[in-house]
A = this chain, B = another copy of it.
Amino acid sequence: MNSKKRRPGRPRDEELVTRRKEEILAEATRLFAEFGYRQADVQVLADRLGIGKGTVYRYFPTKENLFFAAVDAGIRALVDRVSASSKDTTDPVHRLRKNIHAYLSFFDEQPDVVELLIIERAEFRDREKATYFLYKDRYRDERINQLMDAMQQGVFRQMPPERVMNVIGDCLYGVIFTNHFANRKIPFDEQAEDVIDIILHGLLPN
């Protein structure tokens, strides 16, 4: 499994760096989620980690850099989870269900990541796009193709695939944001079923 060639010299150092970065990132995520960007004090982060403030700056040159690294890590974890959820499925409806469940369960487990998304937009308003959507764009064509296939197969109605994708994506995004903004406590799998039901069948009786 660990197929990287182990070269002689100081291989452990690299690992150390990686491990340290991850530790810092994990704590930083918690800190930002707790205090917001501005109020999150790098000194507090260092204290919680039991290291010096300078050490944090060794691994992340600025607070902003640290923040975006945390956002990135969070979103990458989300993407991995959602991708994995439908790996062995080709049925469009099943895949959609799996993806929605994975998406909502991820944010249920990692509520801090939602906070990071909000904070990112609140603090870095001048960015063209939030990180989340940069990642999303990468999977755009793949999603579109899957939707078009499903329509071709007659599993979904014929609709503009991009717009369908938007509505589904927006709906899920809205669910997790509302959960946080309204302090809503609904079991995530119930939410998933509610969303799936409406997205698949609509409100009208057939």
Contacts of A170 in B (CB 8 A): 171, 174-175, 177-178, 195
Tell me if A167 and B181 are in contact (CB < 8 A).
no
Q: How far is the CA of A34 from the CA of B123 in the complex (A)?
A: 10
Q: How far is the CA of A186 from the CA of B138 in the complex (A)?
A: 20
Q: How far is the CA of A154 from the CA of B204 in the complex (A)?
A: 9
Q: At the interface with chain B, which of A22-30, A61-69, A74-82, A128-136?
A: A128-136
CB of A3 closer than 8 Å to a CB of B: no
A129/B204 contact (C-beta < 8 A), A122-B118, A174-B172 known: no
CB of A5 closer than 8 Å to a CB of B: no
CB of A166 closer than 8 Å to a CB of B: yes
A125/B129 contact (C-beta < 8 A), A171-B174, A195-B167, A198-B164 known: no
CB of A183 closer than 8 Å to a CB of B: yes
Closest residue of B by beta carbon distance from A130: B181
Tell me if B119 and A122 are in contact (CB < 8 A).
yes
Contacts of A36 in B (CB 8 A): 122-123, 125
| Other-chain residue from B133, B174, B195, B205 in contact with A173 (beta carbon distance below 8 A) | B174
Known: A159-B197, A201-B204; 17 extra A-B contacts, CB below 8 A, are A9-B54, A34-B125, A35-B125, A37-B122, A119-B122, A130-B181, A157-B203, A159-B198, A163-B190, A166-B186, A167-B194, A170-B171, A170-B175, A173-B174, A199-B202, A200-B202, A202-B202
A interface list, Cβ under 8 A from B: 9-10, 34-38, 52, 54-55, 93, 115, 117-119, 121-123, 125, 128-130, 132-133, 136, 154-157, 159-160, 163-164, 166-175, 177-178, 180-184, 186, 190-191, 194-195, 197-206
Minimum-distance CB pairs A-B, first 6: A174-B174, A122-B122, A202-B202, A170-B174, A133-B182, A173-B174
